[in-house]
A and B are shown apart, each in its own frame.
Chain A
Amino acid sequence: MKKLFIILSAILVLFLTLPLLKLILGISMDSYLNTLKDTEVIKSIFLTMKVSLTATLFVLITGLPLAYLIARYDFFGKSLLESFLDIPTMVPHTAAGIALLMTFGTQNIQGFLESIGLGFIDSTTGIMSAMMFLSAPYLINSAKEGFKNVDIKLENVARSLGASQFETFIKVIIPNAKKDIINGMLMMWARGLGEFGAVVIIAYHPMIAPVLIYDRFVNFGLSYSAPVAAIMIVFSVIIFLSIRWLNNRFNRY
C-alpha cells in the first residue's frame, strides 16, 4: 500500500510544483533583468504587497477581538456567525467583487469615501476592501484556533494577579496565541496578493500585480506577462517562507 500511496502522492506533488518551476526556470536571465528594471512592474508588485498588508493589519485589529469572542464565549447564533464568516471563501471572487461594488460603489458611499480622501472605484481603498473581503476568514479562523488553545486558567490566574481583562488579553492571551495569529496573518496576506477576480471588477487601475499580469497577457502576450508572474511568485515565496521560518523558530515553547 505504501508504494501506491507514494506514487499517487508523487503525481500530485509534480502537478503542483511543475508549473511553478517551469514558470520560474523557463525565463531567461535577460528578461528577468529587463523586467526588474521596469518600474511599472516593481511599483505594481510593491503596491500589491502594501495594500494586502494594510488589509491584513485592518483585520488584525478588528478580527482578533472577533476571533476571541468566538473562541471564548458561547452565545446565541454563534455557529451561524461562524458560517457567515466562511462564506467569502466559497463564493466566486468576481461575484464578491460585484457585491462590494453594489454596496460601496453607489453614488453616496463612493462620494463620501472620496470626500475623506479614500475613494472606492479605481482606488487602493477598493483594492483593499476586495482583498479583505475574500481573505479575512483565513486570519480570523487561525486566530480563533490559537485562542481556543490558550488555557482559560492562564487568563484566570492573570486576573487574580491583578491584570484587567484587557491587560490579560494583551499580555497573556495574544503572546500565547502568537504563532497561530502570525500564521493567519501570513495566510491572509498571501491570499490577498493573489486576489484578481474581485479586484479587477472594482479597480483595474491602479494596477496590482495580478491585474498587470493579465493586462500584459491580453495586450502583449505570454512572453511579456510570464516574467512579471515569475518575479511576483519569487518575491512572495521568499517573504512567506522567511516569516514562517522565523515564526516557527522563535515561537516554540
Chain B
Amino acid sequence: MENNFLEIKDLFLKKGKFKLNILSLDVEKNEYFVLLGKTGSGKTLLLESIAGFQKIEGEIIFEGRNITNLAPEKRNFGFLYQDFALFPHLNAEQNIRFSEKYHKKNEKLFNDLINFLQIENLLKRNIKNLSGGEKQRIALARAVYSQPKLLLLDEPLSAVDPTMRNEIMKNLKELPQRYGLSVIHVTHNFREASYLADKLGIILKGTLLQTGETDHVLKNPNSIEVAKFLGFKNLFKIPLLGFENSHKYFSIDPNQITIAKTPINNDYCFEGIIEEIMGITDHYKLFVNVNGNQFFIKTPKNIFEKLNIKKTEKIFICFNKKDIVFI
C-alpha cells in the first residue's frame, strides 16, 4: 500500500450548528497545498484539527502513523494564525526562539531565517509596535524555526499590507524546497491560491468538494457549487443544448458569446430577448433571456454599437462547443 505523507480519512467535527466533514484529503511531501473557501467554510477548523487543537472523529495518518489523538506538541506541525498570535510578553526574538526549549537550538537555521525574511532589525522590538507584515514574518520565522515537517497557514496574508503581499507570497512559495516541509495554506483569495498552490482543494460549508492540480481545478469544476464559487458564469442544464451526456450542467464564458441579428456559423445559436444593457468603459454587459434562462454576455464596444440594438429587442447569441465547460 502506498503511504502518503499526510492522509485524512472521514474527519468529522461538530461545533454548535456547524459541521466539518472531510471524507478524504492527501498531502504529499514538499507539496504546497492550498485550501480555497469562503469565510465560515470550516477552513480554520480543519487546520486546527490537523494541528491537534480540536478533538475529531475519523483518522489522521502522518508518515504512516495514526496521529488522530496525538497531543499537538508531539506532532511537530507549525501553525500560523491569521492574526499571528505572537506572545505579547516576549519580544520578537524571544517569540522566534520559543521552541528552543523543546527542540534543538539551531543558530544556522535562525540566521538563515533572519536573512530569508529580512527581520534582523526587528529582533529586539516589542511585538506591540510591529506592523502587520512585520508580525507576519516574525510569526512565520517562529513557526519554521521549530523545524516542522508540515506547516499550517491560516489566511496568512489577509492581515498584511497589500504592498507587502507579493514579497511575502514569494517567500511562502519558496518554503517547501528551502526548509524541506509541506504546506497547507487556507485562503479565500483566488490570486494567492493560483500563484502558490501545487495542489488545490475547494472547501465549502464544511465539505471538501474538489481537489487536484491547481490549473485543472480552476478550469474544470466538478460541481455546480464549485463552479459558482470559482466565478463561472452562464451555468445551465445540459438539455438546453439539445443533447445529454454524463454531465449535468455546462458553462459558457461571457466573453466567448457572439451576438448577431441573424444566426451565424457557430455550433449553437439561440434567440432571446435583451433584458438589460450596461455600458462599461470599453465593453457592454448584456443580459439576454432565452426561454427563461438568462445569459450574461460581454461584448466589445465597437461590435455592440454597430448592431444598434435596444432593450426588449430580439437577438441571437451564438457560441462554439470548444468554449463550453461541462460540469
In the A-B complex, the 10 residue pairs with the smallest Cβ-Cβ separation, listed nearest first, are: A162-B102, A159-B72, A153-B85, A161-B99, A160-B79, A175-B89, A156-B53, A157-B85, A161-B146, A159-B73
Residue ID in chain A nearest B76 by CB atoms: A162
Give 17 A-B contacts (CB < 8 Å), ordered by A residue.
A153-B81, A156-B72, A157-B81, A157-B85, A159-B72, A159-B73, A160-B51, A160-B72, A160-B73, A160-B148, A161-B98, A162-B76, A162-B103, A164-B71, A164-B73, A172-B87, A175-B89
CB of B78 within 8 A of CB of A253, answer no
CB of B87 within 8 A of CB of A159, answer no
Residues of B within 8 A of A159 (CB): 52-53, 71-73
- Tell me whether B77 is interfacial, beta carbon within 8 Å: yes
CB of A154 within 8 A of CB of B102, answer no
Residue ID in chain B nearest A153 by CB atoms: B85
A161/B85 contact (C-beta < 8 A), A156-B51, A156-B72, A253-B128 known: no
Residues of A within 8 A of B51 (CB): 156, 160
Q: How far is the CA of A164 from the CA of B78 in the complex (A)?
A: 15
Seed contacts A156-B53, A156-B79, A159-B72; 7 additional CB < 8 Å A-B pairs = A154-B87, A156-B51, A158-B98, A161-B78, A163-B98, A165-B71, A171-B101
Q: How far is the CA of A78 from the CA of B317 in the complex (A)?
A: 66
Binding site for B on A (CB under 8 A): 151, 153-154, 156-165, 167, 171-172, 175-176, 178, 253
Q: How far is the CA of A178 from the CA of B53 in the complex (A)?
A: 24
Q: How far is the CA of A151 from the CA of B81 in the complex (A)?
A: 12
Question: Interface size (B, Cβ < 8 Å)?
Answer: 29
A-B contact count (CB 8 A): 73
CB of B71 within 8 A of CB of A176, answer no
Residue ID in chain B nearest A151 by CB atoms: B85
Residues of B within 8 A of A171 (CB): 101
- The distance from the CB of B124 to the nearest CB of chain A, in whole angstroms, is 15
- The distance from the CB of B159 to the nearest CB of chain A, in whole angstroms, is 13
